[in-house]
């Protein structure tokens, strides 16, 4: 989003090595923010962090209980504070529930629910002490309605919705804002697309959106005047029938 300035702001971004998280990093980095980029796989994460002067990479699995405190501690040690948390790390699981692998079931709940909440929990004391700051959790349109071909994924995103709505009310009067962004089909790795490859047919047909489109919407949310809190933003391809 052109004209948005986050110079000096410190942003934690999880799931930053690919897809939406990588686009968050590029959007905030271009707007002057200092970045704390988090992902499980170090090599692609380091490649993204290497695009910026003010960025550090923290290889961490957010599903592990100790990771969130380490991420926030690293941000404080490196930059002195935290201003923005983009809790974005997530995994996908579709298919008939009766055939779901219990290991995959445990993994998606651990990442999409526990991991999303734990990073916010670790950062909130810093934001509350500053009486300022923003939290945005990456949800999904699946969090706004139950989608039958991905019932477990839908359940995790419904949990994110409940979390954001409840915590927002707890934060009233603190100066800290929280919201969620809920994309439909995004033409990135999560949906089996190579973002560097040809996606023009899907864009022309309006059956998918880009990670950059989601990042642009998040910049809009972050750049609203402080008296405005966008709690939910659903962003869909124009031709997604859902």
| pLDDT(3) > 60 | no
| pLDDT(227) > 80 | yes
**Phi, psi dihedrals of residue 138, rounded to the nearest 5°:** -80, 110
With contact defined as beta carbons under 8 Å apart, do 122 and 71 qualify? yes
Give dist(CA 181, CA 116) in Å, integer. 13
Catalytic residues: 153
What pLDDT is stored for residue 195 in this prediction? 67
With contact defined as beta carbons under 8 Å apart, do 209 and 186 qualify? yes
What pLDDT is stored for residue 214 in this prediction? 98
The predicted model scores a pTM of 0.95
| pLDDT(237) > 80 | yes
What pLDDT is stored for residue 59 in this prediction? 98
Give dist(CA 209, CA 193) in Å, integer. 11
Question: Among 24-38, 133-147, 183-197, 228-242, which is the least confidently predicted range?
Answer: 183-197
Mean pLDDT along residues 52-56: 96
With contact defined as beta carbons under 8 Å apart, do 126 and 81 qualify? yes
What pLDDT is stored for residue 49 in this prediction? 97
| pLDDT(189) > 90 | no
**Phi, psi dihedrals of residue 229, rounded to the nearest 5°:** -120, 110
Mean pLDDT along residues 33-59: 97
**What's the chain's average pLDDT?**
95
pLDDT grade for 80, boundaries at 50, 70 and 90? very high
What pLDDT is stored for residue 119 in this prediction? 98
* Dihedral sign for Cα atoms in the order 60, 118, 18, 92: positive
| pLDDT(126) > 60 | yes
| pLDDT(211) > 70 | yes
Mean pLDDT along residues 30-34: 97
pLDDT grade for 64, boundaries at 50, 70 and 90? very high
User: Which DSSP letter does residue 48 get?
Assistant: H
What pLDDT is stored for residue 200 in this prediction? 80
Mean pLDDT along residues 118-134: 98
For 137-153, how does the pLDDT look when each residue is reduced to its tens digit (9 = 90+)?
999 999 999 999 999 99
pLDDT grade for 191, boundaries at 50, 70 and 90? low
Give dist(CA 168, CA 65) in Å, integer. 23
What pLDDT is stored for residue 188 in this prediction? 83
């Amino acid at each position: 989003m052109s004209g948005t300035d986050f110079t000096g702001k410190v942003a934690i971004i999880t799931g930053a090595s690919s897809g939406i998280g990588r686009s968050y990093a590029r959007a905030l980095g271009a707007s002057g923010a200092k970045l704390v980029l988090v992902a499980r796989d170090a090599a692609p994460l380091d490649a993204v962090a290497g695009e910026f002067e003010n960025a550090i990479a923290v290889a961490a699995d957010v599903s592990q209980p100790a990771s969130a405190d380490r991420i926030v501690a690293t941000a404080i040690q490196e930059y002195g504070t935290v201003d923005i948390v983009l809790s974005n790390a997530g995994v996908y699981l579709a298919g008939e529930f009766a055939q779901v692998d219990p290991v995959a079931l445990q993994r998606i709940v651990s990442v999409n629910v526990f991991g999303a909440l734990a990073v916010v929990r670790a950062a909130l004391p810093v934001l509350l002490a500053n009486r300022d700051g923003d939290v945005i959790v990456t949800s999904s349109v699946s969090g706004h309605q139950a989608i039958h071909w991905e019932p477990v994924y839908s359940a995790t995103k419904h949990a994110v919705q409940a979390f954001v709505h409840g915590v927002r009310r707890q934060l009233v009067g603190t100066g800290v804002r929280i919201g969620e962004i809920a994309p439909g089909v995004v033409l990135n790795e999560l949906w089996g697309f190579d973002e560097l490859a040809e996606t023009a047919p899907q864009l022309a047909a309006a059956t998918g959106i880009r990670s950059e489109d989601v990042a642009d919407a998040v910049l809009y949310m972050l750049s609203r005047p402080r008296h405005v809190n966008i709690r939910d933003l659903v962003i869909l391809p124009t031709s997604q029938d859902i």
